[in-house]
Structure 1
Amino acid sequence: PVVGCKTVENSSMLLYNTHETLFVKGIEAANIDLYTLTGQKIRTVANQNEMSISGLQGIYVVVVKDNANNIKTGKIIIK
């Protein structure tokens, strides 16, 4: 489960999880990308506001782009 979520750039975006799925609220996501802290992209989804985080552990950066190409970022900690 995600034990800590923090919106980094924009307080209008909310990140939370249930049952190994990351949910994005407050923005209509065109793309969600998940990166390691070293910048390696490990997961991506298009046209969804949720992403599987099954099998992951550690700290990750979430990058969400909407249909107007606005980009918002957040950080998640998965234990």
Structure 2
Amino acid sequence: MITQMMVQPSFWVESGIKISKIRNLHLFKFTDELQSRLEELSLKRKAGFLTSEEEAELTGILELDRIFTLLNARIIAES
């Protein structure tokens, strides 16, 4: 098991999450702002310019993305 620092995914619950209706299903999505931040941090990582604080932030956002992928897959499977 690898230990790494991250901003807790729950940090974005109030401001970074929206529920969107897609084909009569309510799915979890990132707000436009959080999606933009994810893209910005991903580009900085690819370029090798992330600070340790940004790496922790990106790790938390990616974990939240994995959680949403699982939840949305279950919602879709149960519909």
TM-score class, shorter-chain normalisation, is under 0.3
Bigger radius of gyration, 1 or 2?
2
Greater strand percent: which structure? 1
TM-score, structure 1 length as denominator? 0.24
TM-score, structure 2 length as denominator? 0.24
Greater helix percent: which structure? 2
